[in-house]
Amino acid sequence: MNLSYFISKRISREQQQGFASTIHRIAIASIGIGLAASILSFLIMRGFQETVKQKVYGFNGHMVVTKLTMSNSSEERPMNYHVDPYDHPEKYPFVTHMQEFAHKPGLVKTDQDEVLGVFVKGVGKSYDVNAFRSSIVEGKFFDFPDSGYAHQVVVSKIIARKLNAKVGDNIVVHFFQNPIRSRKLTISGIYETNLSEYFDSKVIIGDIRMIQKLNDWSDSLAGGLEVFVKDQGPEKMEEDAFTISEAMDLDFNVQLMSDKYVQVFEWLNLISRQVNILLVIILTVVCVNMISIVLILVMERTQMIGMLKAMGATDKMIRSVFLFNGINLLVKGLVLGNLLGLGLCAIQYYFKIIKLNAHDYYMSFVPISWNWEVVAVLNIVTFFVVTIVLLVPTMVIARINPIRAIRFD
């Protein structure tokens, strides 16, 4: 057996009581609380990012393809959506789905005889209902008939409240065109993304064939295409957007959702930076605590260090004794931190105890994303950083004079 490891185990066994035992508990607690705070911070951060991105991507895809226009009109220029990526998806393996859409502005009269401006987003049979289903809070998504167009729509919870309407009620939408046209539509479902500034306060989802008929478009025309891709990394999505744009005419524009809703994604990046800063602060505090604790343990064992040096032990061997002792405390602290951090995350994940203001945070409770890779990285980083820092306080062992150490009281 390694002599340094053997002595370290004997020291740990003898320090079950008294002052050294208290120091050990403080060390384990500081590491455990630090790791638990890091796990909570990162899993909550990932939860925020994934929840918000899922809502944005589920509503609009990862990128949109539209016709270039110099107009400030809220309606898109009509385009033939049967482009090469749409008709031959096998050539573009990074694309998981493409769906046509079109927007048309309109007015709806509220229950208080006020006028509410809305956008009717027309979608077709290719619409990925499953990507949007998690946002539906009441009713269901409407069915597409084989002929004609669906006379049902899905409205947001905010719009339904303003109209004092519920699932099954009828609303009349007046569309901006010459002459103005109106359509009586039935509410089949109510959605809520909590992104009221971008979607909930103004968007109604309906059948694209209604918009095609109102605009006198053929069945092959739409306002644009929503594109879903496999890899959601920023650099990879930019590369995919460039590949799609190269496959189409020059008058087409491909826009990433991260560029269209730049404020939302900047906010998510800001959260990420803040959490990284928090991790550095936590690691700094843990390292300072461990340096202090190991120094105290060295001072407490000064006579033992003098005896070992007098018997011929090298500084390296004696440093290894305290290094093993510190690593033992570190491992116990990591176990405590994982149990505490993952336990608190599990409680929030299943019971949703901590609530949020949905208007400010785009969700009604603190989300948790179970990313085991992040948990493993946090454990590894904490272990190696603290282990390296433990070498600093053990350097004082080389300065200890064996004769003075034996006489030390």
**Tens digits of per-residue pLDDT, 167-178?**
999 999 999 888
Rounded to whole angstroms, how far apart are CA atoms 345 and 60?
Answer: 30
The tokens for 96 are: 């998981």
pLDDT at 134: 84
In this prediction, residue 197 has a pLDDT band, given cuts at 50, 70 and 90, of confident
Residue 191: per-residue pLDDT: 95
109: tokens are 């009269």
What mean pLDDT do residues 332-345 have?
Answer: 95
Question: What tens digit of pLDDT does each residue of 217-242 get?
Answer: 999 999 999 999 987 788 899 999 99
Query: How large is the average pLDDT for residues 383-404?
Result: 78
pLDDT at 66 > cutoff 90: yes
28 vs 5: CA distance, rounded Å: 19
pLDDT of residue 151: 95
At 253, list the tokens: 């524009």
Residue 102 in 3-state DSSP?
Answer: strand
Q: Kindly report which listed range (27-41, 91-105, 243-257, 284-298) carries the lowest average pLDDT score.
A: 284-298
Pair 119, 204: CB distance under 8 Å: yes
Could you tell me the pLDDT band of residue 14, with boundaries at 50, 70 and 90?
low
**Is residue 1's pLDDT more than 60?**
no
Q: Which of 6-10, 224-228, 265-269, 373-377 has the lowest average pLDDT?
A: 6-10
**H-helix or E-strand containing 406?**
helix 402-407
| 3-class secondary structure, 243 | helix
Please tell me the pTM assigned to this model.
0.84
Amino acid present at 334: L
